[in-house]
Structures are given as structure tokens and as C-alpha cells.
Amino acid sequence: MRHFRARTALLALALLSIPPGAEARQGPEASGATPPPAADSGAWSKTLATVVPSVVSIKIRFVRAFDTEHSVTSQATGFLVDAKEGLILTNRHVVGPGPSVAEAVFADHEEVELTPVYRDPVHDFGVYRFDPKQVRYQQLDALELRPDHATVGREIRVVGNDSGEKLSILAGTIARTDRSAPAYGRGGFNDFNTFYIQAASSTSGGSSGSPVLDVHGHVVALNAGGRMLAASSYYLPLDRVVRALDAIRAGRAISRGTLQLTTVYEPYHEVRRLGTTEATEQAFRKAAPEGHGMLVIRRISPGGPAAEALKVGDVLLSVGGRRAVDFLAVETVLDEAVGQEVEVVVERAGERVRAMLKVDDLHAITPAEYLEVGGGILNALSYQVARQFDLPTRGVYVARPGYMFDSGGVAHRSVLTAIDGKPVTTLDEAAAILASLGDGARVPVRSFLPHDRHRSISGVMTVDRRFFPFRRCKRDDATGRWPCQEITEVPPTPPVEPATVALPKVKPARLQAAADSLVEVRYRVPFRVDGVNGDDFAGTGLILDATRGLVVVDRDTVAVPLGDCTVTFGGSLRVPAEVVFLHPLHDVAVVRYDPKLIGKTPVRPAVLRDRPPEAGEKLRLLALTRSLQVVTQEVEVTKVDAPGITRGSPPRFREGNVLVASVNDSEKNIGGALVDGAGQVAALWFSVLDGRNGRMLALPTYLIKDLLPALRQGKAPTVRTLGADLALTPLASARDQGLSAKWIAEFQKAGLRRLLSVARLARGVPASEVLEEGDLLLRVGGRLAADYRTVEQAERGEELRLTVLREGKELELQAKTVPLSGRGTEKIVLWAGALLQEPHWPLTADWGQPREGVYISWVSAGSPAQRYPLQPTRRIVAVQGESVADLEGFLAAVKDLPERAVVRLDTVDLQGRPDVVTLLLDLANWPTSRLDWKPEGWVRTP
């Protein structure tokens, strides 16, 4: 799955961290073998011509994060080992431990679906199956596995696919057959308890899962990893692979036993230091004359079969009556004794110790099911992960925290220990507790990170049962799929108990009324709609109406309508809130809390001054810090200007058509207000978005004050606009463009030195048919176009009169406005792993794209949308050649498409350039669902 070069880069880092000499201690050089004669190039040419058609490129998608793997899309290599059964051998990290979808591409570019048959719990090999009847144009010839041909000095070739684009044939020579397994980093998959084969190679390129061939075309090993800086490659021996394939062909289960021990092969001079007697060494040298050391216990899993009887540093002598001369000897015994007791003999400081130990089933301590809840993935802690951190093989592992667990501070790849105050040790326990919790419930959650297990991490998690499905999925080995059982019953959310808290006192006293209106607003976003650039935001809001619980906040905090909102009072009381208004053009949003939930908390609404701040005016900054402390500071307004017009990519909301004020140095904060000497709020101190970034600036209060009457009536106001970005043009520049002295005098009489010009027009708005970029606005609605507010007041009507100057000529125009919703995006669709919505306003206003078709906001890792790919910011304009105008049209076009149907999608990018994507549906793992805003809130429909 992982491309060879990516894997070798990780390995190079891992090996570079090993102290000098450590490599030699892990496994001695094999010596004494006579290398076979080198083959001539003609022989290799004939061999490769025969072998290459049996090598396939594998396209793999891990559809869910699980155990050691992330959800990801990649490519790798495999090769045919049974033509009749359709068996393909590759690496374990290609098959993966969790749910996946894969296809194989043969040399003649025929593509077949692959079904996972086996992935070894420990060693880096796995097996796929395909239907041989699907390959119609190529003869299928299996490659023969010959582990006995893996000898030192043998010339080899590695045949693989370089990034899935072209065939790569790499030459090398086997240098060692008893190297320790390479380390790929803690937390991910790592092989152990086996020798690896090392080869000197002219390059470290190649692909995971490639066959390592001798000149006869026999497979002598399986490519697994490499060391880039040393130009070395590492191959897995095939002894256990052959055993597994024999069982698969016979229809038998592949038994895999373990004592939950990690052993390393140490040379004799090392084991002598551990107290091994001379008699023991002589016996081992006689029994295995080709060997140069013994197996030493490096790790013992707590709670495992050997935890009480054996110790780290013990030298392994025998298991089940068989001398432990190497890894294979031990593994052969354990694999045939699952569930039975075996005698284990070790030497500890010269003394022999015997113990009867029960052999564990490796498959039983390797997870084969997961819980998907709140966008997160939970599975049982695997032996693969647990042994790396010396943990007991039990507990619930967070393969992906997702939206819900992230809210409680639960980290990726951590282990849960408690939910809602109840201990969690199994997936069953976690499922039962989570099923008992209603949507929106806030419950404590506790976890730890495996590399820091003595530190417990606690948080409070908000339960999600609205935005994401809750289901349990278990692997079906007969089909290779992971069928899921939905958990649909949702218990009621416990009511929030009202509380009363005191509010902080501030000085001077005239600021107290405004301080009593300050609240913290937190907002968490489950899906990245409308180009939002994050998922967890915090800012300061001001209470507008204490009776109705209305709070104004910036749109850098509440950027989109889809999310979970809370309001915090006095840093002491947090209550839920809902979004009631998002200004489509300005950096203000309004949320509402239930006033009953704050009891008699003495909040007061902010008193908004109508007059905006002026340059040189001295005001008091009243704001909240990230720790929710109230800070006050005297500041001076240094500049009043337009924020600039910068379009974002991806398209997202930005401020425009307003004058904002800057102040001199201010304390770091998350927002607040600028208050005048009378205690009135002269400006909203908000994080203002310019299309790319947010920066603290002062916004005029009229942006929300003019809309407050409608909000108090419970309405989300509809905002009308011409769809024009207006820039400030100095009168001197206007004079150069032909503005008459009469008009200049009129503007100067009104105290103005600048006027408004059309900088950009939104695509398709009626005003674009009469206005042109560069027009100077003189009058709007019969009034002098004195400032932005005058224009906005005139835009409230469906049509308005305009007087403009264009290329020295005065023109009288009639322009229509367009309505923009204060609700924002009200429906989204999740399809093939793509997050789809109807095109939002910035796409039209900033990028000149029509609000037609379906906009791609986001693409999930491991999904068909990522694999093929559907790129975010593009619009889908046709399905199977038929145009689609909106989301409903798109859903109608795809609703009857079956599983694994090929869908042709016509798309357009932000520049209007067309492209065609053909996507293979995976409805089993990526079913279609939608979210719609309704009066009762957001509703998910599968």
C-alpha cells in the first residue's frame, strides 16, 4: 500500500536513530555460504519476460482508520501465486488490518476487483483473491515460491511498479539472511520475531509487495522495505507464507500462536554476558552449525501468558520440546499449539527455568471490528500496538478521534479508559455506554497516550448523534467486507440545569454595563462547508438582547451555519446556543441561547452607538483573553479604512464594503468592544476576515444594529445587494477620470475626500448588465453616494436608481438587487466520500462562477472521491452526460446507480476550465446521506 520510497524514508529515519553498533547487535552477518554463480543478462531477459505478466499493480484504499493504519489512498505491487484460485501475494501493510477496497491491474491493463483473504497479525504478508474469469486477454501464470533459494550471494531482481505508473526492475545481491526485522516507527505496523533478508542493491527504489526473483523465475522472498541512505533493501522470508497459502488452498483456518513475547537474535558473545553457560552454547552450536547466536527475550507483554513466569533477558532454549535455534523453530511450535500449554525452557543467569504456558491465539488479540461514532473510529487495542509500548493487550484504541472525541481532548492513537465516569476496557463496554447517551450530552472522558501511559488525560466531550452515523462493523472473512449494524435508537438528552453566576467587575465603572454583555462564544464545525478553514473556534460575543438571548459575534468564530455552539458567561457557566443569522456580506453573526439557563446571572445588553469611530478618537478596549479574563485598555484609533478586497482559495466569506478602524498596540485577546466615554459600544472589536486571514479590527455597530428589529421578531433577515465590491477612490483620481468640479464641490461639502467605485461585480447578478467595473458612484437611490452605509440602505429595495461616471460621462441607471439568505448553506450531501453543497456566494462574488451545479467542499481520505479524484473547489455540472443544476438534480441523477457503478462526472474548476472524472462507486463503505436544516435543527437522512 505505502509506496516503497515513502516507506524507505521512514525506515531511514528509524535506522539513523539507532546508536552506532546497534545494527550489528540485532543480527550477525551470515557467512560461510558459497554464492551461486552470477547469471548472464540473456538468462535474466528470458526470465523477466516470463515473470512480468504475473506481477500486478494494486490500487488500494483504506476506507477507515483502523489499528495501525490511517484512511488513505495509495498504490503497491503484488504477484500471482495461484492462477486457479486467483491468489495474489503482497505485503500485510498493503492488505491492511481494516476495511479496504482494492483493484489489481495486470500487465495488459485489465483491472479486477480484489477481495482480502488474509493479513498476517505479525509478519508483513497478506493475500488477495480475484476471479480469474475476469481476466480475459492475458494468460495467468503463477510464480513459484522457493524460500530455500534465498541464500547469501544469490543474484536477484525485484520486479515492481514505480508509483503504479511503470514497471521497475531492480538488480541486487543477497547479503544476509538473518537480519533483524526493520523498524518503521512506534505506533504503526512493525514486523517482529522473524529474520529478514538483506540485499545490496544499486538503488533503494521499488514497490511494496514486489516479488524478489532468482534467475529461474522463482520467488525467493517478498519485498518489504529498504534503507535509502545505505542503498539496502529488506525482504521477508517465505516460510510462513508457504504455510499460509497451503491452508488457504485447502480451505483451512490459518492458526497463529503467541506467548506475547518479543525475542531478538543475539550473537554468542552477547548471550555469554547474560550468563549463558558454555555447555548451552556448545549444544546450540552443534544443533545449528550455520547459526551464530541465540534468541533472547526483549519484551514481555503485561498480562500475557509469559508475564509471571519469564523475564526480559532470559535466553530461550526450547519451546514445546523443540530447541529454539531460530524464530522459525519457535513459531512452528506455537502455530500448532494455539489454546494448548507448552513447556518453555529458558536460561536465566546460568540457571535453567521451566514454565508451562498457554499459547494465545494471535488472531483473537488482533481486532476485526470497530465502532464508528461521532466521526471517530474505535477498535480493540491490538497486540501489534500494545507490545510496542509494553501495554496489556486490552483496552479501546482511538484509531481516529473524529468530531466527537476530539471535543473532549481525546487524541489520535490514544487509549480510552473511561466515558461518563464509567471504566472502559472493551469495545462492548464502550458501545453500551455511548448508546446510552443522548445527542448534545456533555460527559467526562478519560484517556492516555501509549507513549505516555502514566499521564491520564481528562476532558468533557459533547456527544454527537446528529451529524454522523453510529454503527458497529465487523469483518466477514468469507467476503472480505465489513458489514455494519446501525445503532439508531437515540436516548433523550438530559436537560441543562439552570445556574446563576457572578460576573467580573471592571474599572472604570462606566465600562461595567458593556462588560456585563461580554460572553465567550465557542463553535465546533463537523463538516468543512463554505470554505471554512478549521473546525474549532472561539471568540467574544456581545449580548444584544438579554430577554431573547441574542448575541452578536464575528464570522471568524461562527463562520458557517452547520455546527455546535456554546456561550460562556463570566468564565463560569457554559450553555448551548444556536445560530440564527449569518450576515452574507459582513463579519457579524448572531447566535441565541435560552435565557432561562442562566438563571439570575446579571447580564445586560450592549448599548450600541450609531456613530462609527473616527481617527484620533480615544476609546477603551474591553475584551476577553483566551483564559476568559476581562481586559481593559485605553487605545487610540489610528486609521479608518476599507479592509481590502482579497479573494480566498478555497472561496470563503470575507469582509467588504465597510470602513474598519485600527487602533494602536492592544493586549492579545479574542475580541470584544471599543467603548466610549459614555459607556456605549462605539465599535465591535472582532476578528475580521479578508478572504485569507482574520485580524482584529473595529467594525461599525450599524452592521448589526440596522438588522436588530427583525432579529428581535425571530426572523433571519434577508440581505439584498447589487453584488458589487466597492473601492475607495480619491477625488483627485476621480477628477483625472473626468469628474466635474460641480460634483467635487458637492462631495467636499459633505466632508468627503473619496468616493466609491465599482471594483468587482459578482457573476450573473442583474446589476452586472448595467454596471461596469471602474464606474464611479455619484448617487444611489437619489442620495449622494457618500459612504458604504448609504449604499447598503439604498440596496434594501428590489431596484434602485444610480448615477455613475463612466469614462468621463454621467449615466443614469436602474439596477436590480438580489436577495441573500441570512441562514447560509442549509443542506449538504455526502456522496462517495465527497462533501457536496450548492455553490455559495463567494464562489460567484470573488471567482466569477455561476451558482449552478454542485460544489465540492471537501473530500474524505480513503474514499472514491479522493481516489479518482474529485478535487475540492470544483463544481459538478453533469452526471453521465446529463446536466445537473443543483443538489436535488444531482441526487436524482445518482440515486439508481448500483454498487461499483462507473460514474462519469463533468466538472469545472475555479477558472471555469472543464474536466471529466470517472469514479467507481463504493456504496458499502461510502453510502449517500444528507443533512438539512429544519426549524427543529439539522437532520441527517441516510
Tens-digit pLDDT profile for residues 97-124: 999 999 999 999 999 999 999 999 999 9
Mean pLDDT is lowest, of 28-32, 219-223, 391-395, 667-671, for: 28-32
Question: In this structure, which amino acid lies at residue 926?
Answer: W
Q: Which of 74, 207, 757, 863 is catalytic?
A: 207
pLDDT at 161: 77
CA distance linking residue 854 with residue 829, whole number of Å:
10
Report percent pLDDT > 90 for the chain. 87
> pTM higher than 0.85 for the full model?
yes
More confident residue, 715 or 881: 881
Q: Is 410 left (phi over 0), alpha (psi -120 to 50) or beta?
A: beta
Question: Could you read off the pLDDT of 11-56 as tens digits, one per residue?
Answer: 332 322 322 233 322 333 333 344 555 667 788 999 999 999 999 9
Backbone angles phi, psi at 538, to 5 degrees: -145, 140
Residue 760 pLDDT grade (very low, low, confident, very high; cuts 50, 70, 90): very high
Kindly indicate the confidence band of residue 162, based on its pLDDT and cuts at 50, 70 and 90.
low
* Stretch (H or E) spanning 49: helix 41-51
Neighbours of 435 (CB within 10 A): 16
Q: 444-488 pLDDT, tens per residue?
A: 999 999 999 999 999 999 999 999 999 999 999 999 999 999 999
Q: What is the pLDDT of residue 15?
A: 28
DSSP 608: B
Q: Please say if 124 is a catalytic residue.
A: yes
Q: Which pLDDT score is estimated for 784?
A: 97
Q: What is the reported pLDDT for 183?
A: 84
Q: Which residue has the cell 547469501?
A: 152
- φ/ψ bin of 517: left (φ > 0), alpha (ψ from -120 to 50), beta (otherwise): alpha
DSSP 207: B
Question: Averaging pLDDT over each range in 168-172, 491-495, 571-575, which range is the top one?
Answer: 571-575
Q: From the candidates 67, 82, 120, 124, which is the catalytic residue?
A: 124
Asked about 93 being catalytic, the answer comes back as yes
DSSP 509: G
Cβ atoms 81, 104 nearer than 8 A: no
- Helix runs in 288-387, H state only: 327-335, 383-386
Active-site position among 74, 82, 93, 787: 93
For residue 346, the one-letter residue type is V
CA atoms of 560 and 827, how far apart (whole Å): 12
pLDDT, tens digit (0-9, with 9 covering 90-100), for 295-347? 999 999 999 999 999 999 999 999 999 999 999 999 999 999 999 999 999 99
Q: How far apart are CA 557 and CA 591, in angstroms?
A: 11
